Chains A and B, each alone.
Chain A
């Protein structure tokens, strides 16, 4: 590791996206300075964040020796290419492509479906929940008997799936909709338990009760 390396993460305690970045850095043993941003009130975002991510004005932003990188999956690729310890992507180009495919699937399909299931008005929730269950069934196929999406150790897809591993259960609790059941998705359910049990992941999860409060405030009442 470069002795002169300056690594900063602009994040938010409750954001799965900024937690992804922190998880990757922790996994690779990269020390970083963390800057907490208030993402709930736009006016509270720091001038630095707006300077480093003028396009989206969002967390996370990784600042490496003064150079800003935005968008969590782009940041994960950057981290992988910059710090070689504990790789989060496979070496083989095809396996790498599969990892990228599933990470993209998580953000393009699973995440919007879960958001809809969580925050839609009550009468739209059941249909949205069905869409989530379909997404998760598809996602489960990527596990293919492995302990993690990355194989024996967590990789980029596991990191990207952090909102399935942790946030999803909280959303289920609040909405009362069954999204990830042990009966219908046993492999994926088992993965969530393996994921949150990882010591490095545990260091990188927000306090459950705080997340519960945020979700409760956003979910439309029954």
Chain B
């Protein structure tokens, strides 16, 4: 029986891209279904009734949502090129940092992108605090996964593409020379064969985020 591996995603979703990378790393063939989030397909709503979001992986008819849950499922199901090491301490370390990205970095970057004045100042202060920890974590490591690419790298991956875009659109400096290890990681990560050339089209991203930025910062 042919295996059914379907990925519901969008062209720009940083969360969907994590799953694309995981499939590439493990050499898994899949069918890609691109969604228009302003007009969600019935299938997407059927497969992800709780969140109604991408990415959704459907494996032999079984749907899984939430990108970090999907990444672990992929690692549990396809054993080649593991995304997490065997050692429980190391697994916990990567899971901890993946969570830190989701619960600390992502909300803060959103606040930086969408706010002004005092709110922006506060968001920047929080961001600086966050980055201090991230920089510390990279000490002595080539990647967040250690020597090898891991789940933590895939989860942090958005930084390597979106920081540049946000800086271009907003005129803000978001990751500066105070974070040399993070800057190096962003470079190294982008150059990896599985990651190279997987970013969404740059011009399309600038257009998208320019429009979004203007929505939150209307010309006075």
Contacts and interface: CB of A to CB of B under 8 A. Distances in A.
B66 interface: yes
Contacts of A138: 50
B199 interface: no
Given A94-B62, A104-B66, A67 B73 contact: no
Contact of B92 (A69, A94, A96): A69
A104 B69 contact: yes
Interface in B33-79: 50, 59, 62, 64-66, 68-70, 72-73, 76-77
20 contacts: A55-B100, A55-B133, A64-B89, A69-B92, A71-B99, A73-B99, A77-B91, A77-B95, A81-B88, A81-B91, A93-B73, A94-B64, A94-B73, A96-B73, A96-B76, A97-B64, A97-B76, A101-B64, A101-B66, A138-B50
Given A69-B96, A93-B77, A105 B88 contact: no
A74 B152 CA distance: 13
A187 to B, nearest CB: 17
A160 B169 CA distance: 41
Contact of B99 (A54, A74, A96, A97): A74
Interface in A69-84: 69-71, 73-75, 77-78, 81-82
Contacts of B73: 93-94, 96-97
Contacts of A96: 72-73, 76
Given A55-B133, A96-B76, 13 more contacts: A55-B100, A67-B89, A70-B96, A71-B99, A74-B95, A78-B92, A94-B59, A94-B62, A94-B64, A97-B64, A101-B66, A104-B69, A138-B50
A165 to B, nearest CB: 20
Interface in B122-173: 133
A195 to B, nearest CB: 22
B30 to A, nearest CB: 16
Contacts of B76: 93, 96-97
A78 B91 contact: yes
B91 to A, nearest CB: 7
Contacts of B65: 101
Contact of A69 (B50, B64, B66, B89): B89
Interface of B: 50, 59, 62, 64-66, 68-70, 72-73, 76-77, 88-89, 91-92, 95-96, 99-100, 133
Given A71-B99, A105-B50, A138-B50, A97 B69 contact: yes
A97 B88 contact: no
Contacts of A28: none
**Which of A64, A97, A105 lies at the interface centre, i.e. has the most chain B CB atoms within 10 A of its CB?**
A97
A100 B89 contact: no
Interface string A187-221: 00000000000000000000000000000000000
Nearest to B130: A55
Interface in A23-71: 54-55, 64, 67, 69-71
Nearest to B93: A69
A69 B72 CA distance: 19
